[in-house]
A and B are shown apart, each in its own frame.
Chain A
Amino acid sequence: MTKTYPKASRPSLDNVSVSIEKGEFVFFIGPSGSGKSTIIKMLLHEVTPNKGRVVVNGKDVTSMRSWKRPHFRRSIGCVFQDFRLLPNRTAYENVAFALEVIGKTKAVARRVVPEVLELVGLGGKEHRYPHELSGGEQQRVAVARAFVNRPLILLADEPTGNLDPDTSIEIMRLLDRINRTGTTVVMVTHDSNIVNQMRRRVIEIESGRIVRDQARGVYG
């Protein structure tokens, strides 16, 4: 597929073709502006390609109507560099919020949220506010929020970008654990350390083209 943003001199993604299997763990690496984020946005149906197709979970999202987007998003969890937590809500409330706004009852939240907070290693810290948690802990809340709805895919856009190396490793262990439950994990990163340690599939993008696609790869 190809994506050219309006006013851009060259395509952000130029004739890129990638296939990611269910249950895979994939790193997208490459310098800033190489087009990694565009791939994430396409998977979220935030942008559509000018040419080619995007198929997610067996559904062609290229031609998907925008009113169907909310429902589609429920099958994808997202984690970002800046956590994107609600500052006036506790860890528990942040995760429960994600459930409640898609129509789950409070009873469901009471059952599921403590479970997922336990899973990400935040047992006992449910009622802390984001500013009372460390960066790593905040990211764990974000992962819990992304995973609480048991999505088929977890997208992580530089999830360790704001964290120190040790904390980053912990977050990676967590993502690995989630991957083992059968969830596909797609992660964009600059962190060579992590890529080298994880030894998973690495897709390197440069100037909108795939220059490397390697199983059990390193940062290179």
Chain B
Amino acid sequence: MRMKYVLSEVLVGLWRNVTMTIAMIITMAVSLFMLGGSGLLYQKVGDMKDLYYENVEVSIFLTQEVTEQQRADLDSKLKSDPMVKEVLYVDKQQAYERFQQMYADAPDLVNAVKPDQLPESFRLKLNNPEQYKNIYDQYKESEGVDEIVDQSKLLDKVFGVLTGFQNGALAIAIVMAIAALLLVANTIQVAAYSKRREVAVMKLVGASNWFIQAPFVLEAVVAGLLGSILGLVALAVLKVTAAGSSLAALEGLITPVSWGEIFLIFPLMAGVGAVVSAGTAWVTLRFYLRV
């Protein structure tokens, strides 16, 4: 019976100030949508880093005039280097085969290039791809080395952009969360004011604090949960529309977001929505109800 009373108070409270309730839910939804998006991007970037860095190579190209001795020195130095996991030597002939493969579509280009023109190289896999800089510094000045190319540099740029998106979404999520928080505080103040007589009587006759506060706090929590559901719907809509749009072109680069991942991010959104609302409501009540 008390539960029924509290729940009916919650519904009445949400309905009494319905414009404010809608504003609260929408703000909450946008904030949580951004939070969810940011969370998904964070996961994606993590996944992709694992995937790409695993296969990333550092190539040390040798000059045309490299001597037998220089090559052997370099080879043994690389093989004993603790930063290096794997060393693969690619001679001119192998480089040519790779080149042929890569440009199989352009036979003219392949015909124009002789194996002799392609540089020999060492292909390295590093234990830690982020140690590229050290490799670069160490071998740049070695004799016979022409150029050191790190694939991870390109990846860094891609990941930089993605991380930028992620931080942007997070920033928007935080700003919207502040707006949602202020709306919750305001809604609770209005609700507490419109129920001030009831609250005064309840305090007088000894209703417990939780009983007095619960309807207000739950009102905010319900709004927060509705906001998170709307945010989830927005994420789902984004996934569906993105599949058929220009974003699909990125499919090869960015691993696609699965439904499972979207639904897994929902508890985070709902949790943050509910906790932030409840916390704000509770703090507001401390100031405006003084039970």
A residues near B (Cβ < 8 Å) are 67, 69-74, 76, 78, 84, 86-87, 97-98, 100-103, 105-106, 145, 149
Given A87-B197, A105-B1: A78 and B206 interface contact (C-beta under 8 Å): no
CB proximity of B51 to chain A, nearest CB, Å: 54
What A residues does B211 contact at CB under 8 A?
Answer: 101, 103
B201 lies within 8 A of A97 (CB): yes
Residue tally, chain B, CB below 8 Å to A? 17
A84 lies within 8 A of B207 (CB): no
CB proximity of A44 to chain B, nearest CB, Å: 8
Given A70-B209, A106-B1: A101 and B197 interface contact (C-beta under 8 Å): no
Given A101-B211, A103-B2, A106-B1: A71 and B204 interface contact (C-beta under 8 Å): no
What B residues does A84 contact at CB under 8 A?
Answer: 197, 200-201, 204
Quick one: closest B residue to A80, CB to CB?
B204
B198 lies within 8 A of A70 (CB): no
Quick one: closest B residue to A44, CB to CB?
B204
Cross-interface CB contact of A98 among B2, B5, B205, B209, cutoff 8 Å: B205
What B residues does A74 contact at CB under 8 A?
Answer: 205-206
A69 to B202: give the CA distance in the assembly, Å: 12
A102 lies within 8 A of B207 (CB): yes
Cross-interface CB contact of B205 among A67, A87, A105, A149, cutoff 8 Å: A149
A145 to B5: give the CA distance in the assembly, Å: 19
Q: Which of A73, A78, A145 lies at the interface centre, i.e. has the most chain B CB atoms within 10 A of its CB? A: A73
A70 to B203: give the CA distance in the assembly, Å: 7
CB proximity of A159 to chain B, nearest CB, Å: 14
Cross-interface CB contact of A102 among B198, B200, B206, B209, cutoff 8 Å: B206
A74 to B208: give the CA distance in the assembly, Å: 10
B1 lies within 8 A of A101 (CB): no
CB proximity of B195 to chain A, nearest CB, Å: 10
9 pairs, A vs B, C-beta closer than 8 Å? A69-B206, A74-B205, A84-B197, A84-B204, A97-B198, A101-B201, A102-B208, A103-B2, A103-B211
Cross-interface CB contact of B204 among A73, A87, A105, cutoff 8 Å: A73
CB proximity of B98 to chain A, nearest CB, Å: 76
B residues near A (Cβ < 8 Å) are 1-2, 5, 197-198, 200-209, 211-212
A105 to B197: give the CA distance in the assembly, Å: 22
Quick one: closest B residue to A99, CB to CB?
B205
Give 18 A-B pairs besides A67-B209, A102-B206 with Cβ atoms closer than 8 angstroms.
Answer: A70-B203, A70-B208, A72-B206, A73-B203, A73-B204, A73-B205, A78-B204, A84-B197, A87-B197, A100-B1, A100-B5, A101-B201, A102-B205, A102-B207, A103-B2, A103-B208, A103-B211, A105-B1
B207 lies within 8 A of A70 (CB): yes
A98 lies within 8 A of B1 (CB): no
A145 lies within 8 A of B205 (CB): yes
Leading 4 A-B pairs by shortest Cβ distance: A73-B206, A74-B206, A101-B207, A98-B205
A198 to B200: give the CA distance in the assembly, Å: 31
Q: Which of B1, B2, B206 lies at the interface centre, i.e. has the most chain A CB atoms within 10 A of its CB? A: B206
Quick one: closest A residue to B207, CB to CB?
A101
What A residues does B206 contact at CB under 8 A?
Answer: 69-74, 76, 102
Given A105-B1, A106-B1: A86 and B205 interface contact (C-beta under 8 Å): no
What A residues does B1 contact at CB under 8 A?
Answer: 100, 105-106
What A residues does B5 contact at CB under 8 A?
Answer: 100-101
What B residues does A149 contact at CB under 8 A?
Answer: 205
A145 to B198: give the CA distance in the assembly, Å: 13
Quick one: closest B residue to A108, CB to CB?
B1
What A residues does B201 contact at CB under 8 A?
Answer: 84, 86, 97-98, 101, 145
CB proximity of B7 to chain A, nearest CB, Å: 14
A70 to B207: give the CA distance in the assembly, Å: 6
A101 lies within 8 A of B202 (CB): yes
What B residues does A145 contact at CB under 8 A?
Answer: 201, 205
What B residues does A100 contact at CB under 8 A?
Answer: 1-2, 5
CB proximity of B214 to chain A, nearest CB, Å: 11
What A residues does B205 contact at CB under 8 A?
Answer: 73-74, 98, 101-102, 145, 149
Q: Which of B207, B209, B212 lies at the interface centre, i.e. has the most chain A CB atoms within 10 A of its CB? A: B207
What A residues does B2 contact at CB under 8 A?
Answer: 100, 103
A159 to B205: give the CA distance in the assembly, Å: 17
CB proximity of B199 to chain A, nearest CB, Å: 10
